[in-house]
Every structure is written in C-alpha cells, then in structure tokens.
Structure 1
Amino acid sequence: MKKTTTRLADGRELVYYDLRDDVVREEVDPRPLESTATSSEIRYDWLRDEWVVIASHRQARTYHPPADECPLCPSREGRHSEIPAADYDVAVFENRFPSLTGGPGPAFGGEVPDFPTRPGAGRCEVVCFTSDHDASFADLTPEHARLVLDVWIDRTAELSQLPGVEQVFCFENRGKEIGVTLGHPHGQIYAYPFTTPRTQRMTAAAAAHRARTGRNLFDDVLALEARDGGRVVVDAEHWIAFVPHAAHWPYEVHLYPKRRVPDLLALDEAACAQFPLVYLDLLRRFDRLFGTDADPTPYIAGWHQSPNVPDIREEFALHLELFTIRRTSGKLKFLAGSESGMSVFINDVPPEAAANRLREVATP
C-alpha cells in the first residue's frame, strides 16, 4: 500500500491509498473554494447520560446529485470533484460538512453548568472505496477489499492520536432507504470526543459479567454461539459470523475475529488476510437475499472498536455489525413507537430463520 497525503483547495486533508508503489500523485485541486467554516457542538442529555451532536451546517450538504455531478468520482476535464486525480484505488478526505470538527474544547472545571455544552471536537472523514461510481463494496476484488481494511487500520491509528478523540468508528451506509445521499460506493469514519452510548452499554454489560462470573462477556458469547451453531453463518479459521440470539434487525450478522482484540490495530496478519474473503462473502449473501442490480439490499456495516480507555480495552472485543432494514422483498423495517420511543426492538424475523436463509444463499 502506498499512501500519499495532500490538501484540497479549502485546506482539507486528502489521502490517496494505492495498491501500486509506483503511482505518483501530483494533482492539485483547482477549485476556487474558500476555507471551510463549520461549527458543531455537543450537548449533554441528563436523562440518558449521553452526548448529542448539534450540527446545523449539515443542512446544506450535497443531496442526491446526478451521477455526472458526483463529488466522489475522479475529476475529469471540465468537472472537478473532491478527488482531483483522474483515477484512484481508495481515497480518504475530511468531510466538507462534518458532524464533528476541530480540536478539543475546554473541560468542565468546578461546578458543572445546568446545560452542559462543549464544542463538537473530533473529525469526520469520507472513505471512497473505489473510483467506479456504479460498483459496490461487494464488487471489489479480495486484494482491493484488503486495501480498504488497511485504510481503516491506518485511519484508526491516525485519528486515535488526535487530541480529545476517545473513540473511532469506521462504517458504511448503503442505499437510499438508509438515508444515503451520495450513490458512489463510500463509507465514513467518525472520531468522537467521547465514548458512544452503544459502547457504554456494551462495556457496562461486560463489566457486570466479569464481576458475576470472572469471565469475559465477548468470549462467552462467541463460545455459546459456536457451540449452539444454529445461528452461525460463516465459521472460518480466523473469523466467525453469526446472527445474534436477540437480533434487533430482520437480517443482522455480527463478525468477530476468533482471537479477541480491542481494535483494528491489534489484528494479526492471518486475520487481515482472511477478512476480505469472509466479508465479501457476507455482503454478497446480503445482496442475494432479495436485492437486484436495480434495487440492491440496503445495509449498514460498522466496526465496533474499543475507546481509548485502558480498563475498557482489556475487556472489549473488536467486531463488525452488518444489518439491513429490509425485512422481506419490497418491505422495510421502520423504527416506530416501541423502537424509537422506548428502544425496545420488535423483530419480525426469527434469528434462526435469518441465519438459515443466509446459509441458503451462500455461493454454490
């Protein structure tokens, strides 16, 4: 992997990741862009014990542009995009409309204010998986998918070192049904200035399990799922993928390395080498569930990594969660009153049935 760092016209960082070492990146962004001026803040919710990001400038972000005006495609004569190059393998740049931006805000000293508010410090990046506008992650070759994994690892390493960053989240949203506003195959990375609510719940559960049993919660869950086998979708040498016993979504798969590690940086070469084959297999199974070329399966895929908190890192297990909001052909799972109002999910598809269906659609 060759890494080349440059700057866009407004000062944002752009990083090319190339499969070939002989690629030279000298393109300059010719657009007359002014320096980006964004501001966000995070507000503390007393009742939920969590932070909420307020980012009003995102109302102006690009929304479903025509394919020939895609800002993530390579630039060409007469039309300049966020990527000045005429082609690329993987490109990463700072989001022009970030939810989080800037350095850390001042910590509260002494008395906590009635309405705790801090600057929305952090960083949001866009990861363009390929220059091919009409492709998807599932269309990548194993070599290219491995490059994306190496990019996630590299970005996690860099963003974790930024002042004030506490957790890094690499994820992909695919499909208009999910809310995606750019059709080009891409993902995002958020570097949060706090530990996310989802991670807080998992780590609290892990701590309680350790106190109760003396064992690691994630290790026990993997052992139980492997022994039961009824919800296992893929059981490879270094990875295991299963539909969780209490899946929230109609088709939801959790992918774990069999050797517990806290984050992407701790994966060994054997796990990294096998990941593209396992992950591409899972994505293609999702597409074969009820997707078509004209209407591919919408999904969210995200890496759950340990925050930069020593005690948590010792207990946390890196894993990827992949799920679709489609519950059957032509029907979506909407978050209605129980889910949105009370966080009590009601799943229309039994996890065992979902796992069986995902096994059925494996490549012959």
Structure 2
Amino acid sequence: MKTFDSNEHPHRRYNPLTGEWILVSPHRSKRPWQGQKEAVSGNTLPAYDPECYLCAGNVRSNGEQNADYKDVYIFDNDFPALLNDEMPSEINTDPLFRYRPERGINRVVCFSPEHNLTIPEMELDAIEKIVSAWTQQYLDLGGKDFINHVQIFENKGAVMGCSNPHPHGQIWAQSSIPTQVEKTQKNLDRYYQKNKSSLLQDYLEHELKRKERIVLENEHFVVLVPFWAIWPYETMIISKRHFGSLISMSNEEKSAFAAAMKSITVKYDNLFETSFPYSSGIHQAPTDKAAHPEWHFHMHFYPPLLRSASVKKFMVGYEMLGEAQRDITPEKSAEILRQLPDTHYKKR
C-alpha cells in the first residue's frame, strides 16, 4: 500500500477563514498544456497618456478634470456600482425572492501620476503614501453612519478585467457586510470566542515554525502562501501584531506594510518577467461601530498566471459546480516565489 504524500497525491485542504474546502491535485501539474494562452503585451507605456482618463490634468468621460496631482489622487468613481442615495423600499419577506436596496460609495485611488508605473516599480515612500491614503479613506468612509464595510482593492492587468493600465485601485464602501467578508467574520469570531485569541495570529505562529510556505518577512509583516491557497501563486500579507485595521498601525508598521507589498509584487513580476496581473485586497474589521477583537489585519493577492506569462488558471467546470481546485501545491509555489530575486528584473 502506498504512503500518502501531499506533494504527490490528491487531497483536500480546509480554509478556516471561509469554512470552505479546496481540492489539491499535485500530480496534475505534469500535464501538457494545449489550452488558451493569454496575449502578453509588449507595448511600452508612456509616462503620460493624453487619452487616459486617470492621468493628471486630463478630462474624464463625465467632463470633470483631474487635478494636476503629484502622488496619490482620489475621486468618486464616475461609474459606481453603488449609489449614495437612500432608497425607501417595502419590506421584502418572500423567502425565495429576497432583495433589499444597498447604499454605498465607490472611489478610485490613483497611485501615481506616472501612467507606466506600477507598485513593484515605485519607490517605497510613494507606496507609503498609498497606505496613508487608504488609512484616511477607511476613517472617512467608515465614519459615515450608513457605511458598515470598506473594501480596498486593486485589479492589476487586463486579464483581471482592469479597464485602464494607469496604476490605480478602488474602494467600495457599503451598508452591508459583503458575502466573503461575512464568512470570514463568522469564522474569526467563532475561533476567538472559543480560544480567546486571533485565528490568524495562531496560524501565523505555526507557519513561522514550519517555514514551508513563508515567502518573505520583515519586522512587522509576513508574506506567505496560505495552506489553503486556491490560485497558483496566491499569497497573504499578515501582520505579526494582532490588530484589526489600518488605523491601528504605527508609522513603523505602515512602512513595513508598504515594504512587504513592494517585495511580493517585485517577486511576482520577476516570476515570468512580466507585469504580473492580480487582484489584491485588504481584509480588516468592519466599520459597523462594533468592537471586533476577532479581526486580524491581512491582505490577499490572487494572481491568475499558472505556467508562464501567457497561461492562466481558469475557474471552470468542477470549480464552479463542486469546489475550488489547484494543481501546484502551496509549498511548491512558496518555494518558487521565495527563491526569486528581490530586485525587479527591469533593473537587473
């Protein structure tokens, strides 16, 4: 009888943040690929694009003009998914056709006036300004009486649905707790009530001892491939100290967080020597005015690339009907990322 080897044999892993399972099939990583390949852009972007609606001084599609900004620039999204209007509605009690109005605010965060500059190629002080801007937005939006959650995120690259290559992210603030956050909320709280400690702090202590999935760390943050990762090179940035949101960070922690973001995104770009696409986002305590000792600050990176700059991971078939599945193990992807240079490939 064969002995089980998690690097060779199929198995399922549990995600304690969401309460969901993922199927891991490491033997499938050896299969040949004859599927779709994404086009890799070889175009060199200019530092300023007169047609870009996010570049400094340009007029956006709604006729408003951007300020001649020099670092971070924030404005209300011209095409918001949520509206800042209170909509009275009849109480809906039908168990099969439930709905309710959702109120919120969407903002765009331009990271830099330079059209061709992404986070891995920015100077550290420029990234620190982004972190400071995020902090202020969390305070500003979260302080409104109808906002109960503030989601800060970035979609980088056309393959992730980004409609403009200018370096930017978004903030969606809304009156409800979104589904994925609500799942995490319930599991963090259940663990905290049972153990009187942070789930992610306990998890991080074990990861630091094992050192199997650690990609990099500094004094205040750890970047790792989660044990339950779905995407091939998925990572999390987790704070070493237990706190719930950006507003609890010291200045030293803000600098260390910016450094961690730069370091992992440089490694991403170096992996296939391309501007690496991803969706990233911060998970932090809701702004519903309740105490949330169970929350532990962390940031997710979900990159789609699988084998090269042109081959991506698709979520189809079994993954849509059954559960998430991956081929390369989290331990292997962490090893690959860990061994990559810390200097951006364009500067070597």
TM-score, normalisation: structure 2? 0.78
Q: How many Å separate the matches in 2 of 1:95 and 1:80?
A: 10
Quote the residue 2:314 is aligned against: 334
The structure with higher relative contact order (CA 8 Å, sep 6+) is: 2
- Residues 236 and 300 in structure 2, CA contact (< 8 A), matched pair in contact too: yes
SS at match of 1:69: coil
Of residues 332, 340, 346, the one that matches 1:361 is 340
Distance 1:162 1:116 in 2: 26
The within-5 A match list for 1:301-312 is 301-309=280-288
Residue 112 (structure 1) aligned to one of 81, 84, 93 = 93
Q: CA deviation at 1:298?
A: 0.7
The structural deviation recorded for 1:310 is 5.8
Aligned letter for 2:93? Answer: V
Change (3 A) 1:172 1:238: same
Q: 1:168-317 maps to which residues of 2 (within 5 A)?
A: 168-292=150-274, 296-309=275-288, 313-317=292-296
Deviations 1:64-89 (A, max 9, x none): xx953110012269x99754334421
- Residues 158/311 of structure 1: CA separation in 2 closer, same or farther (3 Å cut): closer
Distance 1:232 1:143, change over 3 A: same
Match for 1:90 among 53, 72, 79? Answer: 72
Count residues with an aligned counterpart: 293
* Residue identity in the other structure for 1:350: T
Partner letter of residue 246 of structure 2?
Answer: L
Question: For 1:144 and 1:240, how far apart are their aligned partners in 2?
Answer: 21
1:351 deviates by 0.4
Give the direction of change, closer, same or farther, for the CA distance of 1:338–1:212 in structure 2 (3 Å limit): farther
- Picking from 145, 148, 171, the partner of 1:166 is 148
Which residue number in structure 2 is paired with residue 6 of structure 1? none
Corresponding residue SS for 1:308? coil
Give the one of 323, 328, 342 matched to 2:302.
Answer: 323
Q: C-alpha offsets along residues 137-159 of structure 1, whole Å, 9 cap, x if unaligned?
A: 21211111100000000001000
1:351 and 2:333 equivalent? no
For 1:174 and 1:70, the matched residues in 2 are separated by 16
- Aligned identity (percent) is 27
Amino acid at match of 2:123: T
Give 3-state SS (helix, strand or coil) of 2:320's partner: helix
Q: Secondary structure at the match of 1:237?
A: coil
Alpha-carbon distance in 1 for matches of 2:303, 2:204? 22
CA change 1:231–1:312 in 2 (3 A) is farther
| Paired letter, 1:204 | K
Equivalent positions of 1:140-159 (< 5 A) are: 140-159=122-141
Distance 2:268 2:331 in 1: 16
Distance 1:81 1:106, change over 3 A: closer
